[in-house]
Chains A and B, each alone.
Chain A
Amino acid sequence: MKPFSIVLSLILSLAAMSLVVWVGRFGAPLPIAPKVDPATEAQKHILSVDDLPMPESGPFGKAELTELEFIFGVRNVGDEDKHVFTLKNIGDGVLKFKMGKPTCQCTVGEITSQNGEPLTKDGEAVKEGSIAPGESINILVKWVMKVQNDKFRQVVPVFTTDPDQRKIEFAIMGAIDQPLHLLPDGFWDFGDMSSTEPSVAQGYLSSKVLDSFTITEVPREDSKVKVTWEPADPLLLAQYQAKSGYLVKVSSSPDVPIGKFREPIQLKCQSGDTEMNVDFMVGGRRSGPIEVRGAVGATFNVESNRLFFGEFPASSGKKAKVNFIVRDLDGELELKSIEPADARIKFTVPETGKPFGKSKSYQVEVEIPPGNPAKHRNEDAEILNLKFNHPGAPEFKLAVDYHAT
């Protein structure tokens, strides 16, 4: 190759590299390097035994543990606790160790001196070290019980150069409970409510941690819902592993309006000088003659009687199957007509319904046929009036929300 060619090649190479660097600089976003806060850095731990290589030759250390698990029983939400595990080297060689990353930031492991003081070096917590034969270290595990959890288990791993125990997991286990526990928790659903008889639901308010408490008041404004309580059967409390508790009965009169019904309940309680409130919701549904209970291929909101098809290509259209539950009708359900008569949306009602308790279920096909784009969202949803042969519900209004693009 001639000197000219070599020089030209070099110049072109440099130009190419510069161009690529320049394009790379402006042509694509640079990765944003996350700013790491000191706590995160301080909490860096090793994740695998690869970060603690074995010595090339023995004698090796051997780890002896007094316990691997600590069961703390039942504690209150918000409590903190700690426990000391001991790791002893009963081998002939030095045992090296490194702290691993705990399974949760609510749990911290620290190496401590025999008197319980955290060991530090240059102001940083000691995370690794060596244990001479016959010596031991203490590992202080602290944990915070932030939320209710029946099966709390967190682990602080420690990696070692014991060939038989390269990774040791110190586990903290137990249950974290609220002082007061409602059973069933959350929403109390009356389900299908009777039109003639009161609906009654009962459950328990109990405590696994309080020896005693009292329900002092249940403020009620709505007379349709009544709450009563009485001390719970001790045998039942024992079954729930509770120390104290009440049987709580909620009853609702049969004349709640047709449709969905919800009512908040607050149980005001006291234990010693401490006042506590337990809030929950009760509710149910008084069924009408025709109801929609869900859809496949679309979604249905019972509260707003609205069928959501979402966004789809206008050229392909969209279909859904909607479950109509029909009561108190002799014979089969028939769709007589739809208003407006020129509605784009088509309904196909099966000739026969499936038995569904004392009712019948009809899986009605609802189709938005292929056609022009149209947007019927929110307040512009298509409102359809379905006219059935049901004497108790000759008309059924349904909103259909969609965007055919």
Chain B
Amino acid sequence: MIYTTVKWNVRSFALIISFSILFSGCKPSAVAPLKPPGNAAVPGKSADETNNSNPAALPTPESVLDSGPKTAVRPYLDGWDKPAIAFLLTGEQHGYLEPCGCSETQSGGMARRADLVRIVTQEKGWELVGLDVGGTLKRSRRQDQIKFEKLFEGFQKLHYSAVGVGLEELKLGADFILTRMPGSPEDLANSVALVSANVVLFDQPDLGWPLRYRLIEKSGLKIGVTSVFGPSLRDRVAPAGVNTNITLREPDEVLPDVIKSLEESKPDLMVLLCHGNEQEALNLAKAYPQFRIVLAAGGYDEPDGKPIPVGKSWVLNVGHKGKRVGILGFYPDNADQPFRFELIQLDKDRFKNHPEMRELMKQYQQQLQDEGIAVSEELLLKHSSGQTFVGAEKCGGCHTKAFAHWKETGHGVAFTTLKEGPWHENRAAEKIDWIQRQFDPECLSCHITGWHPQEMLRYESGYVDEKSSAHLLGQQCENCHGPGSTHVSREENSTNMDELLEGRQMVRRTLADAKKSMCIECHDSDNSPKFTPERFDEFWKQVAHPFKD
């Protein structure tokens, strides 16, 4: 019976192979697209839990990043019953498409937000509506317009219906806001809408944009949403005396009509997005109890996540920079407790980077490159010293040891990290599928020489592009010591000792200066969270250059 025995062994061999492959894992797990809802679900599990519980899944690049030392992973939406509808509540993102700052350890980012949306809609099977209170950007340059457009593409994929018009949106200008207006009612029905009851553009209340309110019909429910811009922020939109083509009406003038219009549709729930300060939100919640939910801007950057009850309504804060998002569950059949709310921190331990949002980030970077944003005149700034940047090689002509040491530091390879990913050994995994950022002014300003690091503006003689400014790549001497043209010129041409000493004085910086105000320009709390006064010495050791040559 050799034949039978061999057959049995072939079968067992095949079985062993199959099980072994299944349990050891030979192909990475695919992340489901955000739309339409898929069926690869492990209900109730977070992305990480799902990964960990599935031994067949090899780590994707993102999950490799997340494989660092962990303590307990906090549960979220724990013990929630499935709501009739859930809301994804966000706001005051302030331009952070990615986790707050350039450190992966920071929270937030559209890619992790998308992972949460995937979990809620696909794993849990909940119906989700996204609402944002506005404040999506930080500035109003062309880069911000591009970011706004990409952000809206992201919102579209993440089930958003309405975005309130906030300070940062108004700063983009009336005409730009108008460009977001969909061309037809059909387009509008399928688009994320800008909503404001009290913002009027070009003195035309009937312009139809932003929408005065929006009625969302989903899961057999009708949700009425409107937004107001708080009068407390009026002075911050534009300097007095200029024609902005933006009129801000008092909320009390417009809300009664909006409520009346919404009530005609017999909504199951009315939501107010209030882009003002916290007190305005509380006042409006009290004055208009028809809004059972008020999503408020102007709260603390790290709110406590507790709803503020005002009568039967809740005022909710979600914090800044997109580090956290709120999930609100609506249970219309539960008259006593129709809502549940949880503020969820988008940390790297619980959420993966969803590939669709990474793709959006790639497209964003590509567009910055295509439009030449970093080289545009919009960013030009005169240096207050009147001097020009000469580049580290010039400095190294005399300061040979300092120059040689600098080349070995993180500062020396700062530009390369934009192209290839972080240089630190413990962040090597981030290099996989790295999205290049060497055309992004918000990144460049601290990775090259001759830019204003916080304003992200280019000094006239500062870095322009890799080809024409090869002498200014990386975080060089002059970013701290100031542009060196006078010092260099005098050292090369002058024999007058007073002039030489004056030139040297111009570029002299003390350790106290560095500690107090210089390093923090780039090592700020977003981009270098570990850089604290207590750890200054530890950081300084890496770049100190006490060489006398």
Contact = CB atoms under 8 A, between A and B. Distances in A.
Interface of A: 1-2, 4-5, 8-9, 12-13, 16-17, 19-21, 23-24, 27-28, 31-37, 39-41, 44-48, 50-51, 78, 80, 103-106, 108, 144, 146-147, 149, 151-155, 169, 171, 173, 183-192, 199-203, 250, 262, 264, 266, 277, 279, 284, 293-296, 299-304, 306, 308, 310, 321, 323, 325, 355-357, 361, 363, 377-378, 401
Q: Would you list the 10 A-B pairs with minimal beta carbon distance, nearest first?
A: A294-B179, A153-B300, A201-B239, A105-B529, A35-B426, A20-B20, A146-B525, A293-B175, A5-B5, A203-B239
Interface stretch (B41-49, B211-219, B257-265, B373-381): B373-381
Contacts of A13: 12-13, 16
B235 A183 contact: yes
B146 A20 contact: no
B69 interface: yes
21 contacts: A5-B8, A16-B20, A28-B58, A31-B67, A34-B428, A44-B69, A48-B74, A151-B299, A189-B140, A189-B171, A189-B173, A189-B244, A191-B245, A192-B243, A264-B380, A294-B175, A299-B149, A321-B183, A325-B175, A357-B204, A377-B370
A279 B1 CA distance: 92
Contacts of A323: 175, 178-179
A299 B148 CA distance: 11
Contacts of A262: 377-378
B542 to A, nearest CB: 12
A310 B366 CA distance: 9
Interface stretch (B82-90, B301-309, B491-499): B301-309
Given A36-B426, A199-B242, A266-B384, 13 more contacts: A8-B5, A8-B9, A28-B26, A31-B429, A34-B428, A41-B69, A146-B525, A187-B141, A189-B171, A189-B242, A301-B371, A303-B376, A357-B204
Interface stretch (B325-333, B387-395, B516-524): B516-524
Given A296-B179, A357-B203, A24 B142 contact: no
A383 B380 CA distance: 27
Contacts of B181: 296
A2 B242 contact: no
Interface string B106-150: 000000000000000000000000000000000111100110010
Nearest to A359: B202
Interface in B513-549: 516-517, 520, 524-526, 529-530, 532-535
Contacts of B75: 48
Nearest to B174: A191
Contacts of A301: 142, 371
A229 to B, nearest CB: 13
Given A36-B69, A186-B140, A356-B202, A264 B242 contact: no
A184 B426 contact: no
B458 to A, nearest CB: 12
A186 B139 contact: yes
Contacts of A105: 525, 529-530, 532
A12 B245 contact: no
Interface string B3-38: 001001100110011001100111110000000000
Nearest to B6: A8
Given A105-B530, A189-B242, A310-B363, A34 B517 contact: no
B503 interface: no
A28 B371 CA distance: 38
B24 A32 contact: no
A147 B75 CA distance: 31
B410 to A, nearest CB: 13
Given A35-B426, A294-B178, A303-B142, A184 B237 contact: yes
Contact of A51 (B72, B202, B429): B72
Contacts of A46: 71-72
Given A12-B16, A355-B204, A264 B381 contact: yes
B16 A16 contact: yes
A210 B359 CA distance: 47
B174 to A, nearest CB: 8
B64 A32 contact: yes
B142 A153 contact: no
B79 to A, nearest CB: 14
B367 A152 contact: no
Given A155-B304, A186-B140, A377-B370, A33 B175 contact: no
A24 B171 contact: no
A200 B202 CA distance: 20
A147 B25 CA distance: 46
B238 interface: yes
Contacts of A32: 64, 428-429
B301 A310 contact: no
B182 interface: yes
A190 B525 contact: no
Contacts of B241: 200-202
A294 B384 contact: no
Contacts of A51: 71-72
A137 B529 CA distance: 28
B105 to A, nearest CB: 8
B253 to A, nearest CB: 22
Given A171-B304, A301-B142, A323-B178, A188 B239 contact: yes
A186 B171 contact: yes
A152 B300 CA distance: 6
B179 to A, nearest CB: 3
Nearest to A149: B301
Contacts of B68: 34, 36
A191 B238 contact: yes
B336 interface: no
Contacts of A250: 239
Contacts of A78: 516-517, 520
B533 A203 contact: no
A347 to B, nearest CB: 15
A5 B299 CA distance: 73
Contacts of B74: 47-48
Given A2-B5, A171-B304, A184 B236 contact: yes
B40 interface: no
B520 A146 contact: yes
Nearest to A13: B16
A75 B407 CA distance: 38
